[in-house]
Structure 1
Amino acid sequence: MTFREELGQIFGPGGWLETEYGFSSNAHQMAYAKAVLSALDSGDAEKPLNMLEAETGTGKTLAYLFAMALVASSGKRGVISTYTLSLQEQILYQEWPKVERYLNQTGRAVSIGRLISRLNYVSPARVADALEDLFGSIAAADAPYHELLDWAASSAAGAGTGLISEYVDKYGNLPDGISNDSICVPQHREPDNDMYGRDRADSESHDILLISHAMLHSSSFSWSQEEPASPLARLRPDLMLFDEADQLATVCESTVESHIRPATMRAKLRRITRQMPHLGVQSDLIQSQIETIETILNGRYQGEGSRAVLLEMSPDEQLFKPLAEHTLQVSTLLKRIGKSRKADRVSEEVMALNQYASMLRDFGEQSTMRATGICWSPVRHRPSLFTHEPSRAASLSRVIRSYTKRQATPPRVVLTSATLSDVLRPVKGSATAKDFQSLLARLWLRTDEVGQAARFSPLKFGSVNGIFLPDMNAPRPFLKEMGGALNPEWPVHCAETIRQHQEHGPMLALTTSYAEQEAIMAQFEPDALLGRRDEPLSLQVAKFRRDGGVLISPALWEGYNLRREDGTQLIATILITRFPFSPSSDIAALAQNRIARLQGRAVSTSTEYAINAERGAKKMRQGFGRGIRHPLDCIRLVICDPRFPQAKSGRSVGPFKAWYRVIPARFLGQWETAQIGSASSQEPEQPGGTPLWQTL
């Protein structure tokens, strides 16, 4: 029996999942599982990439686990990369036991493990150091801090997982004054967490390994080395599957731009000096060099026009040479501090300064692939150095090319997510590689490298009890006559819309920034809305689960599973303030123009705009999806932005006329009959006749 036939017996009518677990057969899930199997088991070696979008409700996680497990049972090694640790928990403790049960019944053994960053593991020694810093001595620490110390020693020794998340799950948030960074396993010394060492050693023996996108990105720079330091790079898997793949680009792009703020460097250095007073003259010398750098930056930046200024060897050579000399001296001195044995107590600051040291060395090296310059914070009135290197986002491309350099067969790669394809592109027939163009471009991959491209959508999953749009004459978020500043009437409009709809049950209100969130919250009495920035988001979410009300935040578009403790539906209304779209920053625009000029090519502003628009459209669809996580979920969708297209009137605002596609196709009938203006007690009219959206 072939693997493909075996998947039919697992997922098909009367199949293994239905017999063992009572699951109803899902044709879309089976088709998706077979597509993953085809990509991993018999894909085109010349086209190793496979783009498989599976909307929420397809059942993709269990489907791809069965497909990869079957292929791995033939002796191949696989890697599954995720954006969130919560998805890894779901895979390990909810979905994999089903796969493992099937494998055991059919006489096969496939092991699965996890390799995650040291930042997730607790260091008992650093917990003790943190308590001494806070209280002067461990004995003087309060009870919750002793509880943390006792747990850390026990869990790291093998009584638990050694993960900081274990403490949070058991006891709640870390005590005041304690952060993940301050108690995690340090980079520069031998780890004192047995579980960290065990997990890293075990990672090379598993058939399937769970990793994070961040780990893949950080290790990608060493994959082409003969003896890579990263255990992931040494593994060289045959199969790679990226779930939440739309976020892989976000992770990779996060390191494209780096900033070095002299004021931040001085603050960290003062903290180091307090713990390492023997530095003395050396510390004073570094402080002096940093002040000189800041003086140079302040003298160069005149505050005219753009908030960013590129530095070139010419005509800025007189500035650039002394700046490069001073940054190199600071880099050298910082490296010496990092090698000190007494740096353990301030390892967080030392690590940060070591990163600054590397960045400062990069700053002194001109390149056709890198732009360097100065930018200015109009809020803090402080300058910083920046480097912008777009090619750092090419992580997956680097990994695939490393196989080619070694004359080895590239791994079979599957990218999958609920929002993988271009949302704003018209859907015409079967998917092609061009339907995933914006994500491929962000990852520095080409459409001719894609072997298989497909979309999978459930015909029925959840329901929408009305879509509510504002009148076209409602206030817009920004005013052109105010230079694009936030319209003073905008938060008032959003607050009034919240009041109109909050009586229908718990509401998640998604904003695009904390500034917008705070402006809207200012229209209400204190504590009328959840979402205050002076309280941890996890605490706000816990209150929302317990009491309902309105939770407003720019940080919940994705990632959080907002359901009640018993797993039932929590959110009744999703409110989206405005399009989560923003153009490229001044720095990115300047850097891209410079790099293109040096490489002798033109910059396509329309392409850059399209990529940014797709990024925002996917975010908006993900926000909509926060409310529908189960087949029986039913929500109301409220949009405050009057630029959103209206089917009834046929009106839309130029650049945003295609944004109705952020609504999943199965709910576009509700958009066609959306209520315009203030909320009404009447039930939304039901769609009928020829869907208008099909003609747009």
Structure 2
Amino acid sequence: MSRCLPIYEYREEQIRSAELIHDAIRRRQGCLIEAGTGVGKTLAYLAPIAFAIAEGLVVVLSTYTINLQTQLIEKDIPILAEAIPEAPLRPFLLKGRSNYLCKLDLDHAAADLIHASDPQFSEILAWAQRTQTGDMAELPRTYPHWHDIAAKEETCRGKDCRYFNSCHYYAARRAALAANLIVVNHALLMTDAAQSAGILPHYDVLVIDEAHHLEDAATAALTLSIDSAEVPAFCDRLERSAVRPDVRLRSRGLRDLHHDLFERFDDGNYDFTLSDRLDHEGMDGLRLSGAVLQTELAAVANDLTDALPDEDDTARERREGLSQTAGLLADAFSGLLAEPSDGDVLWCSVASRPARKSNAAANDLQGLTLHRTPLAIARCVADLLWSRTPAVVMTSATLATSEGFSYLRQRLGFDGAAIEAVIGSPFDYPTQALLYIPNQISEPSRNPLPAYYDAIAEEMIRLIALTSGRAFLLFTSRKALSELYTRLRSRIPNPLFRQGDRPPQKLLQVYRESGNGVLLGNQTFWEGVDIQGDALSAVVIDRIPFAVPDSPITRARSEELTRAGGDPFRQLSNKSLGAWRVERVMVHSVLVAIVLVTALLWLNSLWGGQVLGRYSKVASQTYGFYIGMIFSGVVGVGFYPLLGTRVWCRFGCPMAAVLGLIQKYFSRFRITTNGGQCISCGNCSTYCEMGIDVRWYAQREQNVVRASCVGCGICAAVCPRGVLRLENGPTGGRT
């Protein structure tokens, strides 16, 4: 590797990762690797991939970010091909349909006066004549109306299209069939699996980098969504098309029905579940509106099947495309607003209000999207993805909890045999990095005031001056990025680059070439970016990008667990034993404190108040107040939303601590396990009244002898395989 890559550095962590992945692929089993920043996990999994391909296997490599996909194709895989020439690598980067130009839609746009009068569209036409791939990443700058000319499922005519043999999207799919290393993103991987679309060829090995994003990608792929701009966009196309006049006139009715459905959600500023906004009667009204709109769309789709006299091929193709779009929209509304099942949540996402109102007609209600999302995706992912091949490698810099991969396995339904390893970073952070947190800036609110952005801008200007540019400014929202770009562009001498002005790879290229530039980005640039040397010396983030705990999906999953008798805080967060040690320390500390204070008060009472003197009465009253009011009231009730059920029992009750110690050291009742039969369904952890992750013990064939276990046996009762048993046995040998 050093022969092909002069800057290569030997790292023991990288070698160990590569050996484990190679061993897993050779055995045709899973591999879960957390590799810290700097390990070089990309080459660590590429080398085993090369040896697998040398044996004739086909590999799919999935990543989350476009930046990493491009780096793999343009840099890392060519280096690997040179280092391991005996591996006949035939790599191909396959992207989602919307990344490719649709020649038919381009023809339709060229015939449209709105597009034809746009100077930037002339550049698109010239590029369309030159391009061999039709990939939007080739464009020198972002085209704002790309959606109008991009390949789309709702307008694709497949083999009936006159451009089918030269279609960029289908050409990419054919090239993927001839490849033995197909690079995709998580969204395409899960879309192919969820829709059985046959986009990807048969493969023998699946490698998933940035695997901590896979659950979100799977949830998105299994979610049915309808944007409030889709029907108005269809109506615009219908009104500009050469179809029967009576059919064109029906667009007004469609707009009115669309407005009637979406207007009930137009006063919100944040994402919300529909049940929060609508009562039972309101939901019935929503479904009725959806049914009427669906019926009208289906009628329009049917009317568009009738040909006009003297209709040419172009008009026929456009009419049939409109009919197909109307039919797909009708089906989408039917599926979205059907009677909900217990495992789904209906919710609405809301875009930035100023952005919505500035460029949209008031009655179009743009910026709202209705979603129907399944809450439990583990079984779906297992059936759709893990069943295809046992050789699955998942890796990321943040993948495991402090005690292993049980949480990942539970969330993704991965219960196969796997090699597991957590490999730390080789970087010496204390001497190689500096963490700076300004304390003079107020905490941001959901709608920050201009003064907040002014303060952020001043701090960023100082940091940029200290590092002479060479900085990434990363944001968690487009609004914050826009606000800071406006404030910085006239106040710093460095070249300023903003995400969205150019395709991501073009933006990184000009940033590298600038030498002292400043790049403002959001989600695309948070990870998967490789800037070597001094070109990047500072990374500034406006806030930590944690998932919002009150988002509709997170809250719905928490409520579902609560209804099932589970503990949202425990089931949807870290399951490590380290988390339980906090509870053990707290509840035992409370026990020790109460014993000591009670003994002191007893001694004081027996000796006539001589121990505490004049403080005797105050001490007794204060002690009673804190025990009776603060512990039971504040801990038991006040912290319930944050720490889940049985907060008092787990964190503050001295009797619970005593019973736990008796259970651990003296009780004959205990939960025993037979881990070889465990299918990792998670029922035991879900129904445990004390919130214990019982499955962690079952997977490791360890008996549950935790102080917090009260020996109720409910986990054994809900176990479908008889792995768990409540037994009455001797106390010897316990730990």
User: Taking structure 1 as reference, are residues 373 and 486 closer, same or farther at Cα in structure 2, changes over 3 Å only?
Assistant: closer
Q: CA deviation at 1:51?
A: 1.4
* Equivalent residue letter for 2:338: G
Structure 1 residue aligned with 2:400: 421
**Paired residues for 1:616-695 under 5 Å:** none
Counterpart contact for 1:245–1:417, Cα < 8 Å = yes
> Can you list the C-alpha shifts for 1:416-450, whole angstroms capped at 9, x where unaligned?
1233334xx4xxxxx6223xx2x5455x325x446
Q: CA deviation at 1:330?
A: 3.6
Counterpart contact for 1:162–1:193, Cα < 8 Å = no
Q: Percent identity?
A: 17
1:368 aligned onto 2:330: no
CA distance in 2, matches of 1:164, 1:499: 34
CA distance in 2, matches of 1:120, 1:374: 26
**Secondary structure of the residue that 2:534 maps to in structure 1?**
coil
> Can you list the C-alpha shifts for 1:24-66, whole angstroms capped at 9, x where unaligned?
533222211111111211154xxx4x21122343232233222
**Secondary structure of the residue that 2:413 maps to in structure 1?**
coil
CA distance in 2, matches of 1:177, 1:420: 36
Structure 2 residue aligned with 1:668: none
1:66 paired residue among 44, 47, 56:
47
Q: CA deviation at 1:179?
A: 1.8
Structure 1 residue aligned with 2:100: 121
Structure 2 residue aligned with 1:468: 436
Structure 2 residue aligned with 1:213: 186
How much is the aligned-residue C-alpha RMSD, in angstroms? 4.5
Q: CA deviation at 1:587?
A: 3.2
CA distance in 1, matches of 2:520, 2:270: 34
User: Taking structure 1 as reference, are residues 393 and 273 closer, same or farther at Cα in structure 2, changes over 3 Å only?
Assistant: farther
1:41 paired residue among 26, 30, 35:
26
User: Taking structure 1 as reference, are residues 71 and 401 closer, same or farther at Cα in structure 2, changes over 3 Å only?
Assistant: closer
Q: Which moved more, 1:298-307 or 1:455-464?
A: 298-307
2:220 paired residue among 236, 254, 264:
254
1:610 paired residue among 573, 581, 602:
573
1:164 aligned onto 2:123: no
2:374 paired residue among 389, 392, 410:
389
CA distance in 1, matches of 2:420, 2:45: 15
1:270 aligned onto 2:235: yes
Structure 2 residue aligned with 1:558: 526
**Secondary structure of the residue that 2:394 maps to in structure 1?**
strand
Q: Which moved more, 1:545-554 or 1:346-355?
A: 346-355
**Secondary structure of the residue that 1:278 maps to in structure 2?**
coil
> Can you list the C-alpha shifts for 1:266-286, whole angstroms capped at 9, x where unaligned?
421332123324243334445
**Paired residues for 1:213-232 under 5 Å:** 213-223=186-196, 229-232=197-200
Q: Give the structure-1-normalised TM-score.
A: 0.65
Q: CA deviation at 1:243?
A: 1.7
Structure 2 residue aligned with 1:500: 462
CA distance in 1, matches of 2:54, 2:555: 50
**Secondary structure of the residue that 1:493 maps to in structure 2?**
helix
Counterpart contact for 1:181–1:348, Cα < 8 Å = no
> Can you list the C-alpha shifts for 1:79-114, whole angstroms capped at 9, x where unaligned?
21122444344333433344444554x5x6454444
User: Taking structure 1 as reference, are residues 388 and 271 closer, same or farther at Cα in structure 2, changes over 3 Å only?
Assistant: same
* Equivalent residue letter for 1:476: E
* Equivalent residue letter for 1:34: E
* Equivalent residue letter for 2:194: F
Counterpart contact for 2:497–2:519, Cα < 8 Å = yes
User: Taking structure 1 as reference, are residues 287 and 445 closer, same or farther at Cα in structure 2, changes over 3 Å only?
Assistant: farther
Counterpart contact for 1:77–1:207, Cα < 8 Å = yes
Counterpart contact for 2:225–2:372, Cα < 8 Å = yes
Aligned residue pairs, count: 544
> Can you list the C-alpha shifts for 1:153-202, whole angstroms capped at 9, x where unaligned?
454xxxx4443334x3xxx226x665265144762243353664444234
Q: CA deviation at 1:360?
A: 0.5
Counterpart contact for 1:122–1:184, Cα < 8 Å = yes
Structure 2 residue aligned with 1:412: 391
Structure 1 residue aligned with 2:709: none
Counterpart contact for 2:67–2:529, Cα < 8 Å = no
Counterpart contact for 1:116–1:215, Cα < 8 Å = yes
> Can you list the C-alpha shifts for 1:322-370, whole angstroms capped at 9, x where unaligned?
3353143144246447878847559998877555333201112432222
**Secondary structure of the residue that 2:55 maps to in structure 1?**
coil
Q: CA deviation at 1:412?
A: 0.9
Structure 1 residue aligned with 2:591: none
1:187 aligned onto 2:151: no
Structure 1 residue aligned with 2:10: 25
**Secondary structure of the residue that 2:343 maps to in structure 1?**
coil
**Secondary structure of the residue that 1:453 maps to in structure 2?**
strand
Counterpart contact for 2:21–2:45, Cα < 8 Å = yes
**Paired residues for 1:218-617 under 5 Å:** 218-223=191-196, 229-232=197-200, 235-255=201-221, 258-260=224-226, 264-285=229-250, 287-292=252-257, 294-295=259-260, 298=263, 308-310=273-275, 318-319=284-285, 322-333=288-299, 335-336=301-302, 342=315, 356-362=329-335, 363-372=337-346, 379=353, 382=365, 385-391=370-376, 396-400=381-385, 402-403=387-388, 410-422=389-401, 425=402, 432-434=404-406, 437=407, 439-442=408-411, 444-446=412-414, 448-449=415-416, 451-460=418-427, 464=432, 466-471=434-439, 474-478=441-445, 485-486=447-448, 490-504=452-466, 505-506=468-469, 507-520=471-484, 526=490, 528=492, 530=496, 535-536=501-502, 544-545=511-512, 546=514, 548=516, 550-555=518-523, 557-559=525-527, 561=529, 563=531, 568-585=533-550, 587-588=552-553, 591-592=556-557, 601-602=564-565, 604-607=567-570, 610=573
User: Taking structure 1 as reference, are residues 393 and 541 closer, same or farther at Cα in structure 2, changes over 3 Å only?
Assistant: farther
Q: CA deviation at 1:570?
A: 1.7
**Secondary structure of the residue that 2:432 maps to in structure 1?**
strand
Counterpart contact for 1:293–1:326, Cα < 8 Å = no
User: Taking structure 1 as reference, are residues 301 and 38 closer, same or farther at Cα in structure 2, changes over 3 Å only?
Assistant: same
User: Taking structure 1 as reference, are residues 401 and 333 closer, same or farther at Cα in structure 2, changes over 3 Å only?
Assistant: farther
**Secondary structure of the residue that 2:435 maps to in structure 1?**
strand
Structure 2 residue aligned with 1:13: none
Q: CA deviation at 1:230?
A: 0.8
User: Taking structure 1 as reference, are residues 231 and 282 closer, same or farther at Cα in structure 2, changes over 3 Å only?
Assistant: same
Counterpart contact for 2:62–2:209, Cα < 8 Å = yes
Counterpart contact for 1:338–1:354, Cα < 8 Å = no
- Structure 1's unaligned 5+ residue stretches are 1-16, 224-228, 404-409, 426-430, 479-483, 613-654, 656-696
* Equivalent residue letter for 1:579: I
Q: CA deviation at 1:72?
A: 3.2
> Can you list the C-alpha shifts for 1:381-412, whole angstroms capped at 9, x where unaligned?
95764423334686642324645xxxxxx431
Q: CA deviation at 1:303?
A: 7.7
CA distance in 2, matches of 1:122, 1:271: 21
1:203 paired residue among 156, 176, 199:
176
1:94 paired residue among 75, 94, 98:
75
Counterpart contact for 1:510–1:557, Cα < 8 Å = yes
Instruction: Give the number of the structure whose alpha-carbon radius of gyration is greater.
Output: 2
* Equivalent residue letter for 2:220: S
CA distance in 2, matches of 1:212, 1:315: 42
Q: Which moved more, 1:84-93 or 1:72-81?
A: 84-93
Q: CA deviation at 1:136?
A: 7.8
Q: CA deviation at 1:464?
A: 3.4
